Amino acid sequence: MRTDRTFTMLKPDSVEKGHIGAILEKINAAGFRIVALKETQMTTADAQAFYAVHNERPFFGELVEYMTRGPIVAAILEKDNAVEDFRTLIGATNPADAAEGTIRKLYAASIGENAVHGSDSDENAAIEGAFHFSGREMF
Ligand code: IDP
Ligand code: MG
């Protein structure tokens, strides 16, 4: 299992607010190389599958609604210790708890609309990257 890749999505709120460029710049400045990148929109079935681990949670319906309401930017990122370092860069799930300078502190509105996704393990990074990208889209 490789440890130098993670997967991210700039969620619909980030795209709506025009934050794609600013967030990609933060990612770049933190030393991540972009392996794959695209703007796309998830269907309801896509979001239900992507977040299946949360399907018993009370916020699941709201999460699927949010993640499908507009386009996202999906990306695979490469750096040593990618998963952990990217979670540090984005900050806590709830922006109220996120450290100063983190992407969620800067750009997230709430625990629900929190600007970005970051994989939580090397295994999930590989699964989530493959969910959005074919091998021909990874460089
Ligand atoms: P993470 O994105 O920091 O890994 P998870 O617990 O995996 O956080 O939750 C996935 C996503 O579900 C969050 O990023 C957020 O968009 C949403 N979410 C998590 N907790 C809540 C909540 O309490 N209310 C509404 N939405 C939530
Ligand atoms: Mg998570």
Q: What is the pLDDT of residues 109-127, one digit of tens each?
A: 999 999 999 999 999 999 9
The residue range of the domain holding 107 is 5-137
Q: Supply the residue whose CA is at minimum distance from atom 8 of ligand 1.
A: 93
- Measure 73 CA to ligand 1 centroid, in angstroms: 18
Mutation probe of ligand 1 site: the residue of 57, 67, 93 with most atoms within 8 A of C-beta: 93
**Radius of gyration of the chain measured on its C-alpha atoms:** 14
- Measure 136 CA to ligand 2 centroid, in angstroms: 26
Averaged pLDDT for residues 46-75 = 98
- Measure 111 CA to ligand 1 centroid, in angstroms: 6
CATH of the domain at 103: 3.30.70.141
Q: Which residues contact 81 (CB under 8 A, 6 or more apart)?
A: 3, 4
pLDDT value for 25: 98
**Ligand index nearest the alpha carbon of residue 116:** 1
pLDDT value for 96: 98
User: Considering only CA atoms, which of 68, 113, 64, 104 is closest in space to residue 86?
Assistant: 104
pLDDT value for 79: 98
Domain count, the chain: 1
Q: How confident is the model at residue 66 (pLDDT cuts 50, 70, 90)?
A: very high
Q: How confident is the model at residue 36 (pLDDT cuts 50, 70, 90)?
A: very high
- The answer to whether the beta carbons of residues 85 and 14 sit under 8 Å apart is no
pLDDT value for 74: 99
Q: Let me know if 132 is a catalytic residue.
A: no
pLDDT value for 139: 97
Q: How confident is the model at residue 61 (pLDDT cuts 50, 70, 90)?
A: very high
